[in-house]
Amino acid sequence: MARRKDIITAGNCYHIYNRGNQKNKIFFERENYLFFLRNWRKYFDGTLDLFCYCLMPNHYHFLLKPLDDDFSHRMQNFTISYVIAFNKRYNRVGHLFQGNFKAKPVQDNNVLIHLTKYIHLNPVIAGLVSEPQHWAFSSYRDYVKIRNGTLVKPELIFEQFDNYLEYKKFVEAALNIDIISEYIFDKKSDR
């Protein structure tokens, strides 16, 4: 892997994302998603604050704040371990991801809140489900109290809302996400 040009530093928030090489799937079955999340915990537990995530068939999103300056190294090891396991399981070789993961800094609380909405609505926008709580591989279920997971810290976002029901209304109102478009994907590329 090529060396990162941007430096990811502790205490700053980032939108982390990547997609499959040539937009191909990176998850074929339920166990792939679960393995990815178990591995995420193995590599990152206690090293970051995870605001939200969504795993899609051909890409992923994480919104987080590293607690130390070793995130890029951990992410490289995490990605390599997933690719090795994936290739072994499906008897394949070669790249799985389209280059290095992307990391967009998020320095504004308003953008942070809207990014959580975008990330949680991703399966709805893609037409995979009609409501965000129907997608199992997202932190939205933790946010709306359907699941009591320990991977994300929704209370960091809930500080901006009276309660989780207010956040749920905010997401499901599907307000205009144009204000965060620069944080979603590279402008010169598409999903």
- Determine the angle formed by the axes of helices 30-44 and 71-89, rounding to 10 degrees: 150
Give the whole-number percent of the chain exceeding pLDDT 70: 88
pLDDT digits (tens, 9 = 90+) for 73-101: 999 999 999 999 999 999 999 899 998 99
Measured CA to CA, the distance from residue 153 to residue 165 in angstroms comes to 16
Q: What's the confidence (pLDDT) of residue 187?
A: 47
Q: What's the confidence (pLDDT) of residue 178?
A: 47
pLDDT at position 150 over 90: no
φ/ψ (deg, to 5) at 65: -135, 110
pLDDT at position 179 over 70: no
Average pLDDT over residues 10-21: 95
For residues 124 and 131, is the Cβ–Cβ distance under 8 A?
Answer: yes
Sign, CA dihedral 109-172-133-82, equals: negative
Q: Which domains does the chain have, with CATH numbers?
A: 13-184 (3.30.70.1290)
pLDDT digits (tens, 9 = 90+) for 38-87: 999 999 999 999 999 999 999 999 999 999 999 999 999 999 999 999 99
Q: What's the confidence (pLDDT) of residue 116?
A: 94
Mean pLDDT of the chain: 88
Nearest to 63 by CA among 148, 3, 143: 143
Of residues 52 and 160, more confidence is placed in 52
Our CA angle for 43, 46, 51, nearest 5°, is: 95
Measured CA to CA, the distance from residue 40 to residue 116 in angstroms comes to 19
pLDDT digits (tens, 9 = 90+) for 90-132: 999 989 999 899 999 998 888 999 899 999 999 998 889 989 9
Q: What's the confidence (pLDDT) of residue 102?
A: 94
Q: What's the confidence (pLDDT) of residue 188?
A: 46
Q: What's the confidence (pLDDT) of residue 106?
A: 94
Measured CA to CA, the distance from residue 185 to residue 182 in angstroms comes to 7
Residue 60's H or E segment, with its range, is: strand 59-66
Residue 119: exposure state from Cβ atoms within 10 A (0-12, 13-18, ≥19): buried
Average pLDDT over residues 119-148: 93
Fill in the amino acid letter for 135.
Answer: W
* Residues 6 or more apart whose Cβ sits within 8 Å of residue 160: 109, 113
